[in-house]
Amino acid sequence: MSRRKAVSVVGIGDDGCLGLTSRAMGVITNAQVLVGGERHLEFFPQFHGRRISLKNGIASALDEIVHLAEEQNVCILASGDPLFFGVGGLVIQKIGAEHVEIIPQLSSVQLAFARAGLKWDDAAFISLHGRPLTGFLAKLKRLSKLAVLTDDTNSPTKIAAHMTESGETRWQAWVCESLGAADERVRAFSLQELTVTEDIRPLNVLLLRRDDPGWRRPPTIPFLHEEAFAKRMPKKGLITKREVRLLSLAMLHIKPDSVVWDIGAGSGSVSIEAAWLAPEGRIYAIEVDPEGAEICRDNMRIHAVDNVRVVEGKAPVVLSDLESPHAIFVGGSKGSMEAIIDVALERLHPGGRLVVNTITLENAGEAYQSIRRHRLVPEVTLLQVSRSEPLAHYLRYEALNPIQIFAVTKPEAAEVPA
């Protein structure tokens, strides 16, 4: 391909040609091939060159576009700013930035904030267009203002219902429809009002701003006391104490997009705090006891985390259908420690972390020997925590059960010891 800008990507709004600059119109006029969705192509009935309609998305047409661009001027029409959740990035990745000219239009998000009269340099952006709603609440934890790109499945009404069901009600919402078009409409709602609003057009942007003056961004490192979970948990012993939880989560090396297994989830406390550390990731809470699994689900709802899936059943049997994780925490084994560690180290991504907590000497010995059979040497920590407790007018220390923590990194294939 020559060094010329063989492909131009022109952003276009709902007002069609009216909103285009003279430069953008010149590029379209000089094109020999015009590519776009049916809605965009209809704005140019006078174009007599070759038309390519992107009925199945641009990915399936990229090879043909590259071939045509060898000898012809190709113009791709895209919504708004082609580099903001648009096709521009995919085109550049396929063809190379040196061969692509991007002519952006105002994005739908810019228009939405302008119409609502809200500053947006402090806003976040989430696209639910063609993406699952799962994990949306986890992302909200640290946000106070955002724009959401929706679709027919994840409509503003459905998003509002998902938020209110988990107690996320202190928000003001704006639904901005058909932005730039003659029938443009912008309406403000409380979140409760939005849950019962049905007359929303499919082309819309949802703006959300917290309506809670007392809200503060949560701490970077979660450190919830057991009482935050135990009030919904009759079996008070089945919870990882917060000091142990903090150290265990640190040893897991969780990243924002990590997939995490929490085996023997108990109350789900580790899963919940892992979900906050990995808002772009997915957490699987594995619990064999049906009552415990239901308690997990209750705690997920209480703490509004929707990127956790509770898996009811005994490990390692129920692990086979789960996606491979980047981190695995084992807080309970029900007598299957060796089998769990075998499967964990097999399924764990190279470079991933396995952390095993044990209370008894027998479990500790089994965990150590199981890891050593894989020719790995774990980092072992004996954690002994004492907390202050009132005694009349004084404070005394009360010791918690000592915990042995085994942590190991799965090596790359070339790094496995001989």
Model confidence over 335-380: pLDDT tens digits? 999 999 999 999 999 999 999 999 999 999 999 999 999 999 999 9
Pairing state of beta strands 145-149 and 204-210?
Answer: antiparallel
Per-residue pLDDT, 2: 44
The structural architecture, per CATH, of the domain 7-106 is 3-Layer(aba) Sandwich (3.40)
* Average pLDDT, integer, range 252-276: 96
Per-residue pLDDT, 413: 73
Give residue-wise pLDDT tens across range 195-216: 999 999 999 999 999 999 999 9
Per-residue pLDDT, 55: 84
Placement of tokens 């580099």 in the chain: 83
Give residue-wise pLDDT tens across range 307-336: 999 999 999 999 999 999 999 999 999 999
Give residue-wise pLDDT tens across range 140-169: 999 999 999 999 999 999 999 999 998 999
* Average pLDDT, integer, range 290-298: 92
Per-residue pLDDT, 1: 43
What's the CATH class of domain 109-210?
alpha beta
CA count, 13 A, side-chain hemisphere, 317? 7
Is the domain 227-415 a CATH 3.40.50.150 member?
A: yes
| Tokens (6 digits) for 365 | 């010995």
Percent of the chain scored above 90 by pLDDT?
Answer: 87
φ/ψ of 398, rounded to 5, equals -120, 125
Amino acid at 184: E
Over 50: is that where the pLDDT of 113 sits? yes
Dihedral-angle region of residue 212 (phi above 0 means left; psi in -120 to 50 means alpha; beta otherwise): beta
Over 80: is that where the pLDDT of 67 sits? yes
Q: Where are the domains of the chain?
A: 7-106, 109-210, 227-415
* Average pLDDT, integer, range 389-406: 95
* Average pLDDT, integer, range 127-143: 94
Q: What distance in Å separates the CA atoms of residue 367 and residue 45, rounded to the nearest whole number?
A: 71
Pairing state of beta strands 100-103 and 7-12?
Answer: parallel
